C-alpha cells in the first residue's frame, strides 16, 4: 500500500498492484508524486489515475494483447540501463527485440539480466552481433536456455516474437540502442513496431 505518513497520521492512497503501468520504478514515481502533492491532491484522485493512466508513448507502452501475449513498445530504451529497468518491470521472462545503431557503449552490463529474465532475444540492426557477443559471453548464458534469433527488420522481428511466444508471455521492443541505422528517431521506430504488432492476426 502506498501511504503518506505525516507525524504518525497515515493516509493510504492505493495498492502498488493497482498501478496500471508496470515496474517498481513507476511505484517509486507515484511515491514521489504523492510526497510533493500531499494536501493538494486527494488520495482517491491518485488512486484513479494509478488505475487508469497507461503511461507515455514509447516508455513500456502497452500496445495490445493477442492470444494471451502482451506486447509493449519501449523504443526509448536506447541504453543498457533502460533495458535493466524494463527487465525488472515484469515478473515473468520476456521476449526482447533489440538492436540498432552503435553508440559505442558496452552491452555487458545487461547481459547477465537478459540471461536471467529472457526466454528469447530477437536481434536486428547494426549492433546485433555486438549484443549477441555480450550476451553469449555471460557466465549465465550456457544454462539460461535463452534462444537468440537474428532478423533483418522490424516486421520480421515481430513475426519471430509471435512465433516464439505462448500465452502469458511478454514481448517488448527494448532496443538498448539508438535507432539511426534504420529510423530517423526512436519515435519512428516505436510507431513502426506498434503498426507491425497491430497488423498481427
Residue by residue, what is the 3-state secondary structure of 106-144?
CCHHHHHHHHHHEEEEEECCCCHHHHHHHHHCCCCHHHH
Side-chain half-sphere CA neighbours of 109 within 13 A: 10
pLDDT score at 94: 96
**Along the chain (201 residues), what's the average pLDDT of each consecutive run of 10 residues?**
95 94 87 95 95 84 95 96 92 96 95 98 98 98 97 98 97 97 96 98 90
Residues 48 and 65 in one domain: no
Residues 66 and 37 in one domain: no
Residues 117 and 187 in one domain: yes
Residues 27 and 88 in one domain: no
pTM: 0.82
pLDDT score at 199: 97
Residues 82 and 148 in one domain: yes
Residues 139 and 44 in one domain: no
pLDDT score at 56: 78
Instruction: Give the three-state DSSP class for 103.
Output: coil
Residues 68 and 122 in one domain: yes
Residue 34 grid coordinates: 504523492
Residues 122 and 188 in one domain: yes
pLDDT score at 126: 97
Q: How far is CA 51 from CA 22, 44, 48, in A?
A: 11, 11, 5
Residues 124 and 172 in one domain: yes
Domains held by the chain: number: 2
Domain containing 14: what range?
A: 2-52
pLDDT score at 23: 79
Residues 107 and 150 in one domain: yes
Residues 96 and 143 in one domain: yes
Q: Which of 16, 35, 52 is the last residue of a domain?
A: 52
pLDDT score at 26: 86
Closest CA to 98 of 117, 115, 75: 75
Residues 110 and 142 in one domain: yes
Amino acid at each position: 500500500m502506498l501511504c503518506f505518513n505525516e507525524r504518525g497520521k497515515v493516509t493510504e492512497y492505493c495498492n502498488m498492484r493497482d498501478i496500471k503501468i508496470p515496474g517498481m520504478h513507476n511505484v517509486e514515481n507515484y511515491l514521489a508524486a504523492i510526497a510533493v502533492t500531499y494536501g493538494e491532491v486527494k488520495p482517491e484522485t491518485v488512486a484513479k489515475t494509478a488505475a487508469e493512466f497507461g503511461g507515455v508513448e514509447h516508455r513500456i507502452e502497452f500496445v495490445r494483447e493477442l492470444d494471451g501475449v502482451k506486447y509493449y513498445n519501449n523504443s526509448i530504451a536506447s541504453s543498457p540501463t533502460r533495458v535493466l529497468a524494463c527487465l525488472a518491470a515484469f515478473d515473468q521472462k520476456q521476449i526482447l527485440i533489440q538492436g540498432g545503431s552503435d553508440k559505442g557503449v558496452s552491452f555487458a552490463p545487461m547481459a547477465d539480466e537478459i540471461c536471467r529474465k529472457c526466454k528469447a532475444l530477437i536481434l536486428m540492426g547494426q549492433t546485433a552481433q555486438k549484443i549477441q557477443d555480450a550476451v553469449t559471453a555471460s557466465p549465465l548464458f550456457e544454462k539460461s536456455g535463452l534462444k537468440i534469433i537474428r532478423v533483418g527488420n522490424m516486421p520480421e522481428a515481430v513475426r519471430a516474437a509471435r512465433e516464439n511466444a505462448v500465452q502469458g508471455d511478454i514481448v517488448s521492443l527494448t532496443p538498448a540502442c539508438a535507432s539511426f541505422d534504420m529510423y530517423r528517431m526512436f519515435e519512428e521506430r516505436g510507431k513502426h513496431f506498434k503498426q507491425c504488432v497491430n497488423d498481427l492476426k
